[in-house]
């Protein structure tokens, strides 16, 4: 969109469909989309649902022919994002923020193979999608870096149960705006809890014990 | 139920799912990820060339 970009509305129900709404400045789209690993895939294939000005169709005509050729540049952009974000992690931040500031750039390591193979990067499904394009040992390496290669499914299930209760309580009282506050809503609950439980159940590969420094449960 | 930034549930969740019990462990893992980037970059180049 042109002009000032309003805050991200996030997940909203529209005509019975849960949609994720984000505003992006047209100047950013027009100048950076081709080499952006999260914007360019939207112009690879026919994903545009509405384009009253015709700007998006014009941009697609520019990006589509060079989309494959520029994947190495987009892969480099992912690595640049990982390196810069991890290098600037502030250890003095509150624990939840510190964990998040480590988690998001680390999980971009699963986006790399998706960008390299011209697949659409995802958020919640990025590891599942990466698994479909990587040899098992390489996928396992990503899980080791994330620290969850040896997490038993029942532990994940237990935390999901607890998360559901925490989510409902938080959604009832949330009022402080922050980057993901639009996700803490009743409308977004199926994505946070139901879909997460389904994803967890779908992971059937047994995880080997990595011998990491993880302490036994209960040792805090 | 009272929730705040220091809620033990969140600390347990982080410890159980990604293995961090404190900031030092998180920063050590951060360094491991950074150290792994050259290898991941080489693997990504293989994927790009293969397609």
The residue with greater pLDDT, A191 or B34, is B34
Helices B8-18 and A153-173 sit at what angle, rounded to 10 degrees? 140
- pLDDT of B25 above 80: yes
A196-203: list long-range contacts, CB under 8 Å, 24+ apart.
A196/A124, A196/A160, A196/A163, A197/A157, A197/A160, A199/A124, A199/A125, A199/A128, A200/A153, A200/A156, A200/A157, A200/A160, A201/A153, A202/A128, A203/A128, A203/A153
- pLDDT (tens place) for every residue of chain A, 220 residues total: 667 777 777 788 888 888 888 888 888 888 888 889 989 998 898 888 899 999 999 999 999 999 999 999 999 999 999 999 999 999 999 998 899 999 999 999 999 999 999 998 888 889 999 999 999 999 999 999 999 999 998 998 888 888 888 888 888 887 777 767 777 777 777 776 666 766 766 654 444 433 444 444 434 3
pLDDT at A128: 92
CA-CA distance, A33 to A52, in Å (whole number)?
19
pLDDT at A204: 43
Inter-chain touch B30–A95, beta carbons under 8 Å: no
Distances (CA, A) of B4 to A158, B14, B22: 20, 15, 17
Residues A151, A216 contacting (CB under 8 angstroms): no
- Class of residue A217 by CB neighbours under 10 A (exposed 0-12, middle 13-18, buried 19+): exposed
Chain B contact probe: residue of A116, A129, A207 with most B CBs at under 10 A: A116
CA distance A96 to chain B (A): 7
CA-CA distance, B32 to A141, in Å (whole number)?
12
The residue with greater pLDDT, B10 or A89, is A89
pLDDT at A17: 87
Residues of B in contact with A105 (CB under 8 A): 33
What is the secondary structure of chain A as a DSSP string?
A: --SSPPPP-EEEEETTEEEEE----HHHHHHHGGG-TTTGGGGTTT--S--TTSHHHHHHHHHGGGTTTTHHHHHHHHHHHHHHHHHT--TTS-HHHHHHHHHHHHHGGGHHHHHHTTPPP-STTHHHHHHTTS-HHHHHHHHHHHT-TT--HHHHHHHHHHHHHHHHHHHHH-----TTGGGSSTTTHIIIIIHHHHHHHH--SPPPP---SPPPTT--
Distances (CA, A) of A158 to A152, A153, A154, B18, B41: 10, 9, 6, 15, 35
Name the residue in chain A with its Cα closest to that of B1: A169
pLDDT at A29: 85
ipTM of model? 0.91
CA-CA distance, A216 to A154, in Å (whole number)?
15
Residues of B in contact with A106 (CB under 8 A): 29-30, 33
Residues A20, A10 contacting (CB under 8 angstroms): yes
Closest CA to A155 of B19, B4, B24, B7: B19
CA distance B32 to chain A (A): 7
Inter-chain touch B33–A106, beta carbons under 8 Å: yes
CA distance B39 to chain A (A): 11
**In sequence order, what are the beta bridge partners of A12?**
A19
- pLDDT of B20 above 90: yes
**Average pLDDT over chain B, rounded to an integer:** 89
pLDDT at A189: 75
pTM confidence score = 0.84
Show which residues on chain B lie within 8 Å of chain A, measured between beta carbons: 1, 3, 5-6, 9-21, 23, 25-27, 29-30, 32-34, 36-37, 40-41, 43-45, 47-48, 51
């Amino acid at each position: 969109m042109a002009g000032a970009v309003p805050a991200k509305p996030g997940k909203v129900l529209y005509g019975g469909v849960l949609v994720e709404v984000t505003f992006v400045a047209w100047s950013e789209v027009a100048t950076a989309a081709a080499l952006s690993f999260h914007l360019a895939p939207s112009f690879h294939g026919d994903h545009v649902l509405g384009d009253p000005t015709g700007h998006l169709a014009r941009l697609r005509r520019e990006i589509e022919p060079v989309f494959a050729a520029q994947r190495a540049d987009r892969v480099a952009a992912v690595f640049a994002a990982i390196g810069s974000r991890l290098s600037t992690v502030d250890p003095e931040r509150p624990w939840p923020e510190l964990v998040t500031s480590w988690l998001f750039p680390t999980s971009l390591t699963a986006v790399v193979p998706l960008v390299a193979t011209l697949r659409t990067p995802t958020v919640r499904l990025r590891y599942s999608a990466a698994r479909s394009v990587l040899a098992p040992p390489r996928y396992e390496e990503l899980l080791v870096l994330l620290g969850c290669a040896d997490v038993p499914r029942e532990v994940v299930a237990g935390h999901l149960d607890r998360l559901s209760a925490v989510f409902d309580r938080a959604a009832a009282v949330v009022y402080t705006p922050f980057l993901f506050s639009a996700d803490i809503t009743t409308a977004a609950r199926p994505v946070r809890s139901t879909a997460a439980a389904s994803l967890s159940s779908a992971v059937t590969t047994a995880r080997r014990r990595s011998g990491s420094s993880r302490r036994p449960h209960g040792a805090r | 139920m009272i929730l705040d930034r220091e809620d033990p549930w969140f600390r347990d969740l982080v410890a159980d799912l990604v293995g961090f019990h404190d900031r030092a462990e998180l920063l050590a893992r951060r360094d491991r990820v950074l150290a792994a980037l050259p290898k991941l970059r080489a693997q990504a180049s293989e994927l790009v060339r293969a397609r």
